[in-house]
């Protein structure tokens, strides 16, 4: 099973579990009274926000860890951008009165599937610098796909704008990792994005 298939299965399971708990009233306190007074989020939209917040933390923590391993500036630069992405998702969670699922320590996650994903990505990226930069490309490819799905689920323009801004950042990150690989003599081919979209991103 590929990384994207595993991640998609985990994401789908998370959304289904969250929606089922909400249907039973188990997560009804998540939305504050002020948030409910506005147009409320669907349970899928809430699940997407929760997932995206920790998904951005996976990217940040992997890049911090791989920078410590390889001292390649691309990881350091992009980890700072991922922190901004995390902050964007935290702002949206706060706006809608949703508790933050993200744990403070580097490499620690409340979602077990994302914890396993982090562990796998760090293990792969610790093998060599080329593997590490390839991990960066993979993370950004999958993040782009997940953000497109979140936009498709969203009925709120403020969420759409936030996701679109994150996706623009992921485009830039993917380009940076591809360039870094090229400087190592490696031509990266997309594993998850279709070739047309990948080419458009690189030419953007």
Summarised one tens digit per residue, pLDDT across range 82-102 is 999 999 999 999 999 999 999
pLDDT value at residue 32:
47
Residue 140 resides in a domain: yes
Could you tell me where the DSSP H helices lie in the chain? 3-23, 33-37, 43-70, 73-95, 112-125, 129-153, 157-183, 195-202
Question: pLDDT tens across 100-156, in order?
Answer: 999 999 999 999 999 999 999 999 999 999 999 999 999 999 999 999 999 999 999
Question: Is a pLDDT exceeding 60 seen at residue 28?
Answer: no
pTM of the model: 0.85
Residue 30 resides in a domain: no
Residue 31 resides in a domain: no
Residue 161 resides in a domain: yes
Tally of domains in the chain: 1
pLDDT > 70 in the chain, percent:
81
Mean pLDDT of 71-88: 98
Q: What is the CATH number of the domain that holds 79?
A: 1.20.1260.10
Range of the domain at 56: 3-20+43-202
| CA gap 161, 72 in Å, rounded | 31
Question: Is a pLDDT exceeding 70 seen at residue 195?
Answer: yes
pLDDT value at residue 39:
84
């Amino acid at each position: 099973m590929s990384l994207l298939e595993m991640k998609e299965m985990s994401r789908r399971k998370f959304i289904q579990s969250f929606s089922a708990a909400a249907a039973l009233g188990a997560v009804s306190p998540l939305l504050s009274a002020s948030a409910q007074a506005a147009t409320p989020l669907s349970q899928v939209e809430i699940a997407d926000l929760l997932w995206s917040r920790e998904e951005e933390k996976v990217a940040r923590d992997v890049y911090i860890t791989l920078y410590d391993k390889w001292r390649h500036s691309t990881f350091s630069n992009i980890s700072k951008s991922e922190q901004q992405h995390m902050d964007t998702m935290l702002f949206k969670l706060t706006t809608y009165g949703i508790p933050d699922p993200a744990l403070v320590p580097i490499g620690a996650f409340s979602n077990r599937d994302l914890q396993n994903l982090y562990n796998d990505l760090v293990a792969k990226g610790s093998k060599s610098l080329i593997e590490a930069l390839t991990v960066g490309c993979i993370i950004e490819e999958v993040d782009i796909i997940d953000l497109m799905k979140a936009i498709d689920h969203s009925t709120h323009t403020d969420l759409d704008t936030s996701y679109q801004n994150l996706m623009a950042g992921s485009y830039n990150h993917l380009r940076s990792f591809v360039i870094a690989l090229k400087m190592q003599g490696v031509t990266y081919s997309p594993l998850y994005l279709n070739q047309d979209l990948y080419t458009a991103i690189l030419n953007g």
